[in-house]
A and B are shown apart, each in its own frame.
Chain A
Amino acid sequence: KAGVTQTPRYLIKTRGQQVTLSCSPISGHRSVSWYQQTPGQGLQFLFEYFSETQRNKGNFPGRFSGRQFSNSRSEMNVSTLELGDSALYLCASSLMGIDEQFFGPGTRLTVL
Chain B
Amino acid sequence: TQLLEQSPQFLSIQEGENLTVYCNSSSVFSSLQWYRQEPGEGPVLLVTVVTGGEVKKLKRLTFQFGDARKDSSLHITAAQPGDTGLYLCAGASKTSYDKVIFGPGTSLSVIP
Query: Which residues of A line the B interface, CB within 8 A?
Result: 4, 33, 35, 42-43, 45, 48, 55-56, 88, 90, 92, 97-106, 108
Contact = CB atoms under 8 A, between A and B. Distances in A.
A55 to B, nearest CB: 7
Interface string B25-50: 00000110101000011111100100
A48 to B, nearest CB: 6
B42 A90 contact: yes
Interface of B: 30-31, 33, 35, 40-45, 48, 88, 90, 92-94, 97-102, 104-105
Nearest to B44: A103
Contact of B102 (A43, A98, A99, A100): A43
B97 to A, nearest CB: 6
B45 A101 contact: yes
A24 B100 CA distance: 20
A98 B99 contact: yes
Overall SS of chain A's interface: strand
Nearest to A96: B98
Given A42-B104, A100-B48, A106 B40 contact: yes
A106 B101 CA distance: 18
A33 B101 CA distance: 12
A110 to B, nearest CB: 13
A39 B31 CA distance: 26
A45 B102 contact: yes
B28 to A, nearest CB: 14
